[in-house]
Amino acid sequence: MFRGPDPTTIELAYMICAFGGAAFFILRVVMSLVGGIGEGMDGFDGDSDLHVQDSDSSDVAFKFVSFNAIGAFFMMFGFAGLTSFIEFGLGYFGSLVVACLVGFFAMYLTALFFSQVRKLQSAGDDFNIKKTVGESAEVYQRIPKNGQGKVQITMNGQLRELDASTEGDYSIESFKKVVITDVIGVQEVVVRPAE
């Protein structure tokens, strides 16, 4: 595995980076998948250390430097450096250059991957219930007289379910079309039958 009978200092350094980075990266990914346990551990509000600002002409709007990306950097830096030093015999400088290039590429891919995942997670976060006033909806659960039911509305390409009551002293049956006339709180709307 090593060039000689015992690992050299650079081989040990690459091994520590590779296995330490891999363990850290895997731990972070598992924690993220188990309900965002690691969200507050960055000390930088989730994964945002440095943020490349979004512009109208660019889709490269993601957090490049994050703990996930740093873990990926050290993991791939170590494995690439170790492989290029031992298997390809590139020497100290050559293996260091390869390790840095591969590490930064892994960092970029990781940042890009997590930015895409974040976009999927926040696709519906732009919902503003006040913008539903005047919009059409469909009764999902019967709205009883002086009671509360549920309506479904599609906003920003997302189907939403909201609590609903009528604006008058009447009930509205399920699957009827309604118009939202007012908003009560953060999850309830007032509706009337559509014309």
The answer, yes or no, to whether residue 121 has pLDDT greater than 60, is no
The answer, yes or no, to whether residue 61 has pLDDT greater than 90, is no
Q: Which tokens in the block code for residue 88?
A: 């390809």
Predicted TM-score (pTM) of the model is 0.50
**How far apart, in Å, are the Cα atoms of 100 and each of 106, 107, 109, 123?**
10, 10, 14, 34
CA of residue 135 relative to chain centroid, distance: 30
Domains of the chain: 9-121 (no CATH), 129-193 (2.40.50.140)
Q: What pLDDT does residue 44 have?
A: 39
| Weakest-pLDDT range from 78-87, 117-126, 177-186 | 117-126
CA angle, 54 as apex, 48 and 58 as ends, to 5°? 130
**How far apart, in Å, are the Cα atoms of 16 and each of 121, 134, 178?**
34, 61, 63
- Phi/psi at 183 (nearest 5 deg)? -125, 135
